[in-house]
Structure 1
Amino acid sequence: MNDQSDRPLVIFGVGEMAELACYYFTHDSPRRVAAFTVDGSHLEEDRCMGLPVFAFEEIDAHCGPEEYDMFVAVGYARLNKARAQKCLEARSRGYRLASYVSSRSVTWPDLSIGENCFIMEGNIIQPFVRIGNNVIIWCGSLISHHVEIDDNCFIAAHAVISGNVKIGAHSFIGVNATLRDKITLGERTLIGAGALVAASTEENTAYLAAISPEAGIPSHRLQSLL
């Protein structure tokens, strides 16, 4: 269920997320990535992955919104606020925001997905799922039936989100986190890696799993277990 537009694409960012976005769009979508862009204050190199890098303040002169779309490749800084703000700026300048869904994920024809979403490989997304704008879902997660994910969320790898869960805007779900069915996460909920959440959450709350302690036994004494 990739975005089937063949309009050329400008990627905002030059970090690892931007490099991944360029690779995925190039090898698994009809899109041609034409250039990168960053805020002028962060413009240090004029090339990225062999493509030109332009100051965002001047991008219209090089790749205007009447011909080019944009993807904002920014991570989850400040609970996705940095990415959300840049999406707003891009829209205000007339750009349509592209989304990507890996052909190596399992989806169904009724999947509802917004702008500037990025869904990587190995995800299973069941029927009746609704995904808002500017949502990133890393690889290998299960998004069960009737799940609703609001705008500006980030779901890390191998999360399990059970059926009828509602995830509020600007939330972060960590690696290997599990959400039981029929719960609602308030806006700006942070679920840490490996956490199990079995009840609805309030806004601006965080749930963190305990970190495994060092066993106090030399590893060579446990080699028989390997």
Structure 2
Amino acid sequence: MKNKKLVIFGAGETADIAYEYFTHDSTYEVVGFTVEDAYKTSDTLYGLPIISFSQIKDHFPPSSVEMFVAISYTKLNRVRAKCYNMVKEAGYTCATYISSKAFVWHNATIGENCMIFENNVIQHKVQIGNGVILWSGNHIGHQTKIHDFVYISSHVVVSGFCEIGKSSFLGVNATFNDKIKIGGDTIVGSGALITKSFLDSGKLLIGAPAKSGPVNSYITFGVQENEI
């Protein structure tokens, strides 16, 4: 039953996917989209209005809707974090989507504006922050902590008692042994095997076992010095 109304922040690929999942597998009714004013190139999507963010309160005030920021890992998750903060400062509550086909243990905690796709396993006392995306088929082991604005692609195995630093990106099929910690802004390459902790921020980890790559994560994702 649709008993809550939702505006999606974004009008690109991630917003398209968010519309699909919220529409067909949640209690939310999507009633519109919003984008930053400079990025508004159309008036409608799926027959629903696209409103410039500067005007969103006139059409959908915070008391009437929740919002979901549907932005990918652009600029090492910086853009999603920026837009989430804009939405919160405007007074909106941010919705979280958890697939009906995900397994989430009862004492796991999941923050705002997260998207948990199908076939994720989230175990005992896992902590997931705000703005985290878990694409399909990941395993998050017991008592692991995932900080805000992390992006986990697909078929990643994070064992128990790990800690994933803020704004990190974990590539497809990456594997973490128990009790591993990685610093913020870390990129873990596809298929990497993390057998020890890397606590410094901005690492690019590649290989099996993983080692630091030839450049840092900021260069890899095009993050400028003033954005770090």
Deviations 1:34-70 (A, max 9, x none): 0001111111111112211110111111111011110
Q: What letter corresponds to residue 62 of structure 1 in structure 2?
A: H
Which residue of the partner structure matches residue 118 of structure 2? 121
After superposition, the CA RMSD in angstroms is: 1.4
Q: CA deviation at 1:109?
A: 1.2
Match of 2:59 in 1: 62
* Residue type of the alignment partner of 2:206: L
1:132-175 deviation digits (Å, cap 9, x = unpaired): 01000000011111110011100001101011100111111001
TM-score (structure 2 length as normaliser): 0.88
Between the aligned partners of 1:109 and 1:28, the Cα distance in structure 2 is 20
Q: 1:203 aligns with which of 201, 204, 221?
A: 201
Contact 2:3 2:28 in 1 (8 A): yes
Match of residue 214 from structure 1: none
Deviation at 1:5, TM superposition (A): 9.0
Q: Would you identify which runs of 4 or more consecutive aligned residues in structure 1 move more than 2 Å?
A: 4-7
**SS of the residue aligned with 2:103?**
coil
2:127 is the alignment partner of 1:138: no
The offset of 1:209, in angstroms, is 3.3
Give, in angstroms, the shift of residue 197 of structure 1: 0.9
- Counterpart in the other structure of 2:176: 179
Aligned position for 2:93? 96
Does the 8 Å contact 2:2/2:29 carry over to 1? Answer: no
Choose from 7, 19, 33 the match for 1:22.
19
Deviations 1:43-99 (A, max 9, x none): 111111221111011111111101111000000011111100100000000000000
Amino acid corresponding to residue 201 of structure 2 in structure 1: E
The aligned counterpart of 1:160 is 157
Distance 1:187 1:144 in 2: 19
Greater CA radius of gyration, 1 or 2?
A: 1
Structure 1 runs not aligned, ≥5 long = 211-226
Letter in 2 for 1:208: I
Structure 1 counterpart SS, 2:76: helix
Distance (Å, rounded) in 1 between the aligned partners of 2:185 and 2:205: 12
Q: Distance in 1 between matches of 2:106 and 2:26?
A: 17
Given that residues 5 and 30 in structure 1 are in contact (C-alpha distance below 8 angstroms), is that contact kept between their aligned partners in structure 2?
A: yes
Show the counterpart of 1:193. 190
SS of structure 2 residue aligned to 1:98: coil
Give the unaligned 5+ runs of structure 2.
209-228
Task: Tell me how far 1:116 sits from its aligned partner.
Answer: 0.4
SS in 1 for 2:18: helix
Give 1:6 shift. 3.2
Normalising by structure 1, report the TM-score: 0.89
